[in-house]
Amino acid sequence: MAMTALRREGRRISGLLMSPHPVNLLRSSLASSDREQVLVGARSISTQVVRNRMKSVRNIQKITKAMKMVAASKLRAIQTRAENSRGLWQPFTALLGDIPSVDVKKNVIVTISSDKGLCGGINSTAVKISRGIHKLNSGPEKECKYVILGEKAKAQLVRDSKKDIELSMTELQKNPLNYTQVAVLADDILKNVEYDALRIVFNKFQSVVSFVPTTSTVLSPEVVEREAEAGGKLGELDSYEIEGGETKSEVLQNLAEFQFSCVMFNAVLENACSEQGARMSAMDSSSRNAGDMLDRLTLTYNRTRQASITTELIEIISGASALEG
Amino acid sequence: MSLWAYLSIPNEAHSSYQIGPHCSSLSFHFLPRNSTLRDTRFQNLEMLRQAQRFLLTRASASATRSTRPFSTDLPAETAGDSKFIDAWKKLIPNMDPPKTPSAYMAPRPPTPSTIPSKLTVNLVLPYDSVLSAKEVDMVIVPATTGQMGVLPGHVATIAELKPGILSVHEGNDVTKYFLSGGFAFVHANSVADIIAIEATPVDHIDLNLVQKGLAEFQQKLSSASTDVEKAEAQIGVDVHSALNAALTG
């Protein structure tokens, strides 16, 4: 606010004043507002503007450093849980295979994203991949709907695919993630959405600096039976004996629901890990940038300060020599 | 190099990356007598630097030999994947296609021609893999149709599980876990996957709490009014009576 006032002052008076000689050397190194400020105080060059900028940049650096520490500690907490949950979906993939190229009529894309921002590009990549899958699976007689978890993907997808969004949920991470919560969520989705294939899009946590967009496919029991009869990857499914339940289809129904909740649990945990990791690296690079900016501003500040001292000295000396001579 | 003779690195050093604590013990050995302080400090620093380099190369060498924690297995892409990737590349050439779960999983062994001698068991929970690729003789799983024993060479089965005891037999050891329910897959290659929500070892369960819970849920069942409440109370009764039977039976 002080800066805008000063800028206004500068613009009013700049027309009237001539810039003093030493200031011209500084012009190229100062920002435009500083230039105007310099013209206002024709005799004394003020370092106030630069000092204000330095103060705000330093504050930003502190904030981003603190956010990085917070993200690092949250990442540590959730990383072990995500790694432990990795064994959960493997038996399902071993049994039912993984066929993202399956051709079905009703596709539902479950996009998992974060609620909070400042986490780098992971939400944008998830949305891009979802849009890509939507494009792949759109055609005559095929429909493709979105189920969105997280604010950020909702904000992006609502702009062009509003009519395709079936369900959206936010504030998943208010309480620490656990299986019961995810199971209830999965149940909600399965009850309200008709699907032949559910495609879950999330960012898999590979390391603190690498997050790989991944998609898991969960098929409905009818499609599983159809693919098993057609042969191919699921062809061996018929050779499995079914124990328990009244009919095979009932067991397959339970299996599909259980698979969905397990895959969702892992996906949500991995995405949360990726979010914290991405936030850590984003905040790290922004504190580094703030540090660089601060270095440059410090140099400018010193130059301004020295120039004003030099100007004063010149005035005094020229005044003194004028008196003598 | 004479440095080798001086260094007595403790056993843990070759797998740890920390240089600090070792250096202090190393510097102790190197202090030669009868020299000026400047010389000794200089020599100290030199020795420390060389020691650091030595430890680092040993540490990095062992690290490359051992498995990296985040390496992903990337077996040959399966047919479904390549069809997906090709379709993706045609329609969306600017973006890399997303990876699929099969890229992160080690491929399962094929069905052997003779029956193997051991059964490989994986018991996974949402929070932990309790058993992963453990070789055992037999497991007894609590399927909804009753206790089912699985031996190597068992026919491929998909079994729904009810709350009950899973016993893992290895030689003469029997480990019992109480499962909350889930699924069990037995594959033709004598690999059994058991997926449950909770699995606690039986000795961690308190009998008094179980009986109290059973009484409470039975009372809730008798006083339940809506279907939802009845169903919840019934589930509670089932689980607690299974727990009771597990501990007492």
A interface test, pick of B158, B162, B193, B228 with most A CB neighbours within 10 Å: B158
Q: Is residue B7 part of a domain?
A: no
pLDDT of B96: 87
Q: From CA A259, how far away is CA A265, in angstroms rounded?
A: 10
In the block, residue with structure tokens 């199971």 = A183
What is the reported pLDDT for A42?
A: 52
Residue B8 lies in a domain: no
Q: Cβ contacts (< 8 Å) between A207 and chain B: which residues?
A: 70
| B144/B199 same-domain check | yes
d(CA A176, CA A183): 14
Report, as an integer, the average pLDDT of A95-124.
90
Q: Chain-wide mean pLDDT for chain B?
A: 75
Distance between CA atoms of B158 and B192, rounded to whole angstroms?
10
Cα torsion A53, A63, A171, A168: sign: positive
In chain A, pLDDT over 70 holds for what percent of residues? 86
Q: What is the pLDDT of residues A202-261, one digit of tens each?
A: 999 999 999 999 999 999 999 888 888 887 777 778 788 888 777 888 888 999 999 999
| Least CB–CB distance from A81: residue in B127, B145, B187 | B127
The set of residues, in sequence order, having a beta carbon less than 8 Å from that of B89 and lying 6+ positions away, is B97
Q: What percent of chain B has pLDDT over 90?
A: 14
Domains by residue range for chain A, with CATH: 97-232+246-284 (3.40.1380.10)
Determine, yes or no, domain membership for B132.
yes
A248: distance to nearest CA of chain B, Å?
10
Residues B192 and B220 in one domain: no
- For B184-223, what is each residue's pLDDT tens digit? 999 888 899 999 999 988 888 888 888 898 898 888 888 8
Same domain, B223 and B167: no
Q: Mean pLDDT over residues B102-120, rounded? A: 85
State the pLDDT at residue A274: 96
Q: Is the pLDDT of residue B69 over 80?
A: no
Mean pLDDT of B231-244: 87
Instruction: State the Cα–Cα distance between residues A4 and A7, nearest whole angstrom.
Output: 5
- Tens of pLDDT, residue by residue over A164-182, are 899 999 998 888 898 999 9
Residue B130 in contact with residue B199, Cβ under 8 Å? Answer: yes
The answer to whether the pTM exceeds 0.90 is no
**Is B159 touching A (CB cutoff 8 A)?**
yes
Q: Is A138 on the interface with B (CB under 8 A)?
A: no
Q: How far is the alpha carbon of B42 from chain A, nearest alpha carbon, in Å?
A: 34
Arithmetic mean of pLDDT over chain A: 86
Are residue B148 and residue B193 in the same domain, yes or no?
yes
Across the interface, whether the CB atoms of A95 and B158 are under 8 A apart is answered yes
- Asked if the Cβ–Cβ distance from B158 to A201 is below 8 Å, we say no
Domain-embedded: residue B9: no
Output B206 or A265, whichever has higher pLDDT.
Answer: A265
CATH number for the domain spanning B126: value is 2.60.15.10
Q: How far does B28 lie from chain A, in Å, by closest CA?
A: 36
Mark whether B140 and B154 lie in a shared domain. yes
pLDDT(A85) > 80: yes
Residues B124 and B143 in one domain: yes
Q: Nearest C-alpha of chain B: how many angstroms from A191?
A: 16
Number of domains observed in the structure of chain B: 2
- Domain of B212? 207-248
Q: Between A298 and B9, where is the model more confident?
A: A298
Per the structure block, which two tokens stand in for A236? 């061996």
pLDDT at A41 over 60: no
Compute φ and ψ for B66, nearest 5 degrees. -80, 165
Q: How many helices (H) and strands (E) does chain B have?
A: 6, 10
Instruction: Give the residue from chain A lying closest to B90, CA to CA.
Output: A136
Residues B124 and B199 in one domain: yes
In a domain, B43, yes or no: no
pLDDT in tens, B138-153: 999 999 888 999 999 8
Task: Say which residue, A27 or A131, is predicted with more confidence.
Answer: A131
The interface predicted TM-score of the complex, written ipTM, equals 0.74
DSSP notation for A118-184 = -STTHHHHHHHHHHHHHHHT-BTTBEEEEEEESHHHHHHHTTT-GGGEEEEE--TTSS---HHHHHH
Residue B12 has pLDDT above 80, yes or no: no
Confidence of residue B14 (pLDDT cuts 50, 70, 90): very low
Q: What is the pLDDT of residue B35?
A: 47
Q: Are residues B196 and B213 in the same domain?
A: no
Amino acid, res. B168: V
- Report the gap between the CA of A144 and the closest CA in chain B (Å): 16
Interface contact flag, A233 B143, Cβ < 8 Å: no
pLDDT score, position A301: 95
Question: Any chain B CB within 8 A of the CB of A142?
Answer: no
The residue of chain A nearest to residue B132, with distances taken between CA atoms, is A87
pLDDT category of residue A73 using cuts at 50, 70 and 90: very high
* Chain A residue nearest residue B198, CA to CA: A179
Give the span between the Cα atoms of A322 and A230, in whole angstroms: 104
Co-location of B197 and B125 in the same domain: yes
Has residue B22 been placed in a domain? no
Asked whether the predicted pLDDT for residue B244 surpasses 70, the reply is: yes
Q: Considering only CB atoms, which chain A residues are within 8 Å of B197?
A: 179
B-contacting residues in A 35-74 (Cβ below 8 Å)? none
B222 and B183 within one domain:
no
What integer is the mean pLDDT of B60-79? 45
User: Which pLDDT band, with edges at 50, 70 and 90, does A24 fall under?
Assistant: very low
Between B1 and B40, whose confidence is greater? B40
Chain A contact for B134 (CB, 8 A cutoff): no
**Could you tell me the pLDDT band of residue B236, with boundaries at 50, 70 and 90?**
confident
Average of per-residue pLDDT across B159-168: 91
Note whether B188 contacts A95, CB cutoff 8 Å.
no
- Considering A105-109, A284-288, B123-127, B139-143, the range whose residues carry the highest mean pLDDT is A284-288
Percent pLDDT > 90 in chain A is 61
Give me the residues of A, 170-189, that contact B with CB < 8 A.
Answer: 179
pLDDT at B56 over 70: no
B62 within domain boundaries: no
A121, A274, B44, B210 from A207: Cα distances, Å = 15, 8, 38, 43
- pLDDT for A4 equals 56
Residues B186 and B227 in one domain: no
Q: Is residue B192 located within the same domain as residue B217? A: no
Residue B154 included in any domain: yes
Both tokens of residue A291?
């540090």
